[in-house]
């Protein structure tokens, strides 16, 4: 399993000089919240502050800051393209002529290690959010790098857990969809071969008794049950419903399967109507009549994410989003 913290460490170690671009303040409607950040090197970026011209401007200023201490000959070689996950090209021209209301504080000396941008998100820069964003740009030194890693480790430790029981076609698709979200994904299977090919950021567990994993899960977890065996599904779902601290319990299947489970749960598993009422089945809902694994996975991932956010924001505990870096 390759964690997102490890990916951050690899980026910090492998890109040379880096600048941290962070949303330091917001007013009105903005693409990202305060604390959102990205790292910028000479030829690559990691993360995003919302995209669009705002991000292009910030990247351009970050690279000015990165190369300001260098001699003119070296600074002239500063690359203008931006290589990111989407291989986006930065528009340097957009940042070269600040529109009205745009305030840029750039380093006046090579020794300076920070810059600030205050950008109105209006038609002047081709964005119509209508708000205003303050962006703080800082060179990354050893202390700031450690702070970033520590914050990432804290955030990762507090991520909501999503447990997927079953690594079949839908399980594989749902694991891939959930791996893109700010959650810790665990796929549990009784068959070793079904765990092959899972995304590298997903934790996998081979368990002869998957229902036991439910009992060990942290509070506030989401459970999606979609194994190859209906009887096993019922055992896992029953364990999950009897916990009173789950954010989501979902089972793949039809109305008939749900009705069969209800009859068994109330009569044989000593379940209650209130517990059964918390079951989401089929996962992803039935409004979209498309049973392709990728479609079910997309709908179920959105359903679980909504439940996790609601559960987290409605109860006391660690915040479910990153915090701004300390000055």
Domains present along the chain, CATH in parentheses: 4-154 (no CATH), 159-313 (3.40.50.720)
CA angle 236, 244, 205 (to 5 degrees): 35
Q: Which residues contact 220 (CB under 8 A, 6 or more apart)?
A: 160, 161, 245, 246, 247, 308, 311, 312, 315, 317
pLDDT for 179: 95
pLDDT digits (tens, 9 = 90+) for 38-88: 999 999 999 999 888 889 999 999 999 998 754 333 444 444 443 333 333
> Is pLDDT of 132 > 70?
yes
Pair of tokens at residue 49:
């502050």
Rounded percentage of the chain residues whose pLDDT exceeds 70: 80
Lookup: tokens for 316: 């006391």
**Between 276 and 105, residue with greater pLDDT:** 276
* Phi/psi at 48 (5° precision): -155, 150
Give the DSSP H/E element, type plus range, for residue 302: helix 293-313
Report the mean per-residue pLDDT for the chain.
84
| Portion of the chain with pLDDT greater than 90, in percent | 69
More confident residue, 110 or 112: 112
Mean pLDDT value across residues 240-251: 96
pLDDT at 127: 67
Exposure of 290 by Cβ count < 10 A (0-12 exposed, 13-18 middle, 19+ buried)? exposed
Instruction: Say if CB 133 and CB 36 are below 8 A apart.
Output: no
Indicate if the pLDDT at residue 271 is higher than 50: yes
308 pLDDT exceeds 70?
yes
Q: Give the least confident one: 156-160, 168-172, 183-187.
A: 156-160
- Answer yes or no: is pLDDT of 207 > 70: yes
Q: Tell me which range, 72-86, 105-119, 129-143, 201-215, is most confidently predicted by mean pLDDT.
A: 201-215
Is residue 21 scored above 80 in pLDDT? yes
pLDDT at 314: 66
**Given this model, what pLDDT does residue 92 score?**
37
Q: What whole-number distance in Å separates Cα of residue 192 and Cα of residue 224?
A: 19
CA dist., res. 76 & res. 211, Å (int) = 61
């Amino acid at each position: 399993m390759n964690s997102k913290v490890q990916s951050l460490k690899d980026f910090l170690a492998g890109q040379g000089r880096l600048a941290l671009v962070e949303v330091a303040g917001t007013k009105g409607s903005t693409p990202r919240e305060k604390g959102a950040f990205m790292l910028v090197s000479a030829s690559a970026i990691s993360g995003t502050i919302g995209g669009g011209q705002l991000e292009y401007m910030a990247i351009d200023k970050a690279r000015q800051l990165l190369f300001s201490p260098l001699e003119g000959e070296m600074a002239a070689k500063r690359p203008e393209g931006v290589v990111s996950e989407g291989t986006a090209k930065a528009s340097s021209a957009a940042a070269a002529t600040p529109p009205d209301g745009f305030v840029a504080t750039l380093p006046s000396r090579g020794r300076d290690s920070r810059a600030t941008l205050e950008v109105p998100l209006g038609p002047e820069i081709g964005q119509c959010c209508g708000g205003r964003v303050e962006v703080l740009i800082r060179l990354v030194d050893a202390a700031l790098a450690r702070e970033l890693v520590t914050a990432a480790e804290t955030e990762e430790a507090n991520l909501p857990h999503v447990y997927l029981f079953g690594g079949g076609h839908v399980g594989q698709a749902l694991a891939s969809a959930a791996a893109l979200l700010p959650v810790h994904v665990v796929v549990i299977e009784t068959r070793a071969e079904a765990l092959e090919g899972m995304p590298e950021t997903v934790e996998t567990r081979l368990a002869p008794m998957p229902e036991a994993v439910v009992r060990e899960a942290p509070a506030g977890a989401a459970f999606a049950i979609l194994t190859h065996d209906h009887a096993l599904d019922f055992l896992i779902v029953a364990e999950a419903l009897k916990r009173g601290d789950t954010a989501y319990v979902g089972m793949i299947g039809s109305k008939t399967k749900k009705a069969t489970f209800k009859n068994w749960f109330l009569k044989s598993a000593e379940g209650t109507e209130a517990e059964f009422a918390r079951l989401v089945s089929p996962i992803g809902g039935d409004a979209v009549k498309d049973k392709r694994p990728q479609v079910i996975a997309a709908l179920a991932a959105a359903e679980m994410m909504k439940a996790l956010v609601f559960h987290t924001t409605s109860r006391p505990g660690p915040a479910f989003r990153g915090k701004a870096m300390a000055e």
